[in-house]
Chains A and B, each alone.
Chain A
Amino acid sequence: MTQADLLPWAVAIPLLGAPVLAVAGRVLPRLGCDVLATAAAAGDVACLALLWSRIHGVSTARLGGWPARVGIVLAADRVGAGLALLVAVLVLAVLVYSWRYFDEPSGERAGLFPAMVLVFEAGMVGFALTGDLFNAFVFFELMGASAYALTGYRIEDPRPLQGALTFGVVNSFAAYLSLLGIGLLYARTGQLDLAAIGRGLAGRPPDLLVVTAFALVVTAMLVKAAVAPFHFWLPDAHAVAPTPVCMLMSGAMVELGVYGAARIYWTVFSGAGGVPHDAFRHTFTAFGVATALLGAVMCWQQRHLKRLLAFSTIAHVGLFVTALAALTPDGTAGAAVYVAAHGCVKAALFGLTGVLLDRYGSVDEHGLHGRARQLRLVGVLFTVGGLALAGLPPFGTGLGKALSEEAVSSSAGAWLTAVYVAVSAVTGGAVLRVALRVFWGVGPRPAEDHDDDQTTGEGEEPEIRGPLRGLPVMMTAVPGALLVLGAVPGCVPAVAHAITDGARALADPALYRRAVLGPPAEVRLPGAPVSSAWTVEGVALGCVSAAAAILLGAGSALRPLPAGRLLRLGVRALRRLHSGHLGDYLAWLAVGVAVLCAALAAQA
């Protein structure tokens, strides 16, 4: 089994598992479906782990035996395969988590939910591994279609249906925008393979068509990554999706949007005929910082736990985009470690929120005040997750933050380090505040401020009938395992080195082009390795942000923080922007594309 075989197998296993499960679900009991689904997910994890360990540069698979000029070539460097592995691990965790948690429909529809999760995994893995631009659009839509259905799964509750519909319309419209961009690129270069388009663009100086095509194609990636001002759909979709689906969306799907943007820029538009590096660096640093700050501010305001975690994901996506916008191998390496660890930690936090939803039928911070005291282990795990989000040193998120800060401060400016520390502190602090209030009942019960434009977590129906039986052990074991997995990159230097060493390949388009367009041979990664160890100031900054998070969390749990009138008005206006209205989100999408085109054209 050479790498060239492993690549298609990684996509074929879930695509084969889903129909088999859909048919087997009619005859097998619930246990049989779960075993079958877990086996398929475990098989995919094994296949992708094998692939990830064997890649040293870029490994390619020519589908149908056709070269890149004619057919589709799957091309995976360590970053793409690593993200696909993260997806597979999270899918396995989600399927094990929902063994006895989920009130699946019985009868002939028993196997449908795991089958849909497997199709969702196939879409994500295919998107991470493909080397063809139109194929990326197809897998983008496959990811979307299965995510819309999974988000709207609880049809008795009105809000999931609205969240899923908004999610569907905004993401589909962005996909059609990117298809227009693909049409423009196809007309100009006559190619559809990423490396071939990149080479085709190199012939002429960059003109308006290249900038517009880049803006249109990358818009779909930014919508999927929930970068401001395209992020509005994410909190609505996350607040209402079933917990296993939230774990997948926040843990992996959003990060794939960031990876897609980086892959398309590096492979297609970073050459001579593409978008100049300075234009990309300034524009995307601005988008990244705006997303990070907006996500942090909105995260602090939420009382609905899942929306709070969703805005925390948006804040961290802003940090990933800022790190990638540095356009240096260090920045890519830092972002890769940060994404890997954040995916595990955020999925664990969503899993723990699912426990609260299962026990108390509510995910509202005020409503749950002090009610979860006896869930001692869940409280400890939740607090550890909050500290990990804040970037506490031993955790992979701490290492990723440190590496990103170092890369960003050397290329863009030291003030960005302050943004990293502040955003990590605020998001970590919000999670710690929730942990202290819900699990330890710290501080007074928050006053009921009846401003009606806020989504409370009340009245959520528990996702399983009959919560009287004991808590399924998997619902705490899986989040615990994911937190351990989130700590592995920080504690085990070999893993961190493997991630950062592979990340250099993303920032090396010539290597990718040689691997895809040249004769099919294994291409090794030249050049000096990137630093992946803890540095003194990295550890120091991690401790500072963790301490600030603890101060913020504990302080605000005891008594609400004083806020100036102007700040309160500003935040209220910002929250009214998140109106849940489909027309608003699409108007902001139009404005976002316009700003992106104008900013890139001005500097091109």
Chain B
Amino acid sequence: MGVLVYLAAGWMLLVALYGLVTSRNLVHAVGCLSVAQASTYVLLLAVGYRDGATAPVFSDLAPGSRPLVDPVVQALALTDVVVGATVTALLLALTIQLRKRYSTLDPQALTGLRG
């Protein structure tokens, strides 16, 4: 069961890159980017997991009574979730404006920048 979780993160990244490379619609590409980001959450939290441990919150738990999962990776994943949400919002804003100026959203047809 162990290494499977890490491999799942790798799979999600590469399938998201496949979606990005073969995308025919920029909104779909931005969605694939957020899937690629989801792979980082899975790897970070899998690295921090501990068998038989509980969440690192002492609101209903006496400190030291039970083994705890790694709280640092959770803080990193939290920061990563925020970064993902903001970058997705910014890229979607660019996509909206791009659609107004080009009649299509297919990377194949965007021929403004070449050479």
Q: Do A and B bind each other?
A: yes
List A residues at the B interface (Cβ < 8 Å): 134, 138, 141, 144-145, 148-149, 152, 155-159, 161-166, 168-169, 172-173, 176-177, 179-180, 183, 186-187, 192, 235-236, 239-240, 301-302, 307, 453-455, 575, 578-583, 586-587, 590
Q: Give complex CA distance A455, B115 in Å.
A: 6
Main secondary structure of the interface of B (DSSP, over half): helix
- Chain A residue numbers with a CB within 8 Å of B101 are 155-158, 161
Q: Give complex CA distance A304, B32 in Å.
A: 33
B40 contacts A161, C-beta separation under 8 Å:
no
CB of B60, distance to nearest CB on chain A (Å): 26
B22 contacts A583, C-beta separation under 8 Å:
yes
A158 contacts B98, C-beta separation under 8 Å:
yes
B113 contacts A183, C-beta separation under 8 Å:
no
Q: Give complex CA distance A239, B30 in Å.
A: 23
Number of B residues whose C-beta is below 8 Å from A? 44
Q: Give complex CA distance A103, B37 in Å.
A: 36
CB of A236, distance to nearest CB on chain B (Å): 4
- Chain B residue numbers with a CB within 8 Å of A590 are 17, 21
CB of A64, distance to nearest CB on chain B (Å): 13
Of B86, B95, B108, B112, most buried by chain A (CB within 10 Å of CB) is B112
A587 contacts B114, C-beta separation under 8 Å:
no
B97 within 8 A of A: yes
CB of A169, distance to nearest CB on chain B (Å): 6
Closest to A298 in B: B115
B26 within 8 A of A: yes
CB of B90, distance to nearest CB on chain A (Å): 6
B68 within 8 A of A: no
B87 contacts A172, C-beta separation under 8 Å:
yes
CB proximity to A under 8 Å, residues B1-40 = 9-10, 13, 17, 20-23, 26, 29-30, 33, 36-37, 39-40
Contact of A158 among B17, B37, B102 (CB under 8 A): B102
List B residues at the A interface (Cβ < 8 Å): 9-10, 13, 17, 20-23, 26, 29-30, 33, 36-37, 39-40, 43-44, 47, 72-73, 76, 79-80, 83, 86-87, 90-91, 94-95, 97-98, 100-102, 107-108, 110-115
A158-B102, A169-B29, A582-B20 known; A148-B94 Cβ under 8 A: yes
Contact of B94 among A159, A165, A302, A586 (CB under 8 A): A165
A159 contacts B90, C-beta separation under 8 Å:
no
- Chain A residue numbers with a CB within 8 Å of B40 are 176, 179-180, 183
Contact of A168 among B10, B23, B43, B87 (CB under 8 A): B87
- Chain B residue numbers with a CB within 8 Å of A155 are 97, 100-101
Contact of B76 among A134, A240, A307 (CB under 8 A): A134
A183-B47, A186-B47, A236-B113 known; A583-B13 Cβ under 8 A: no
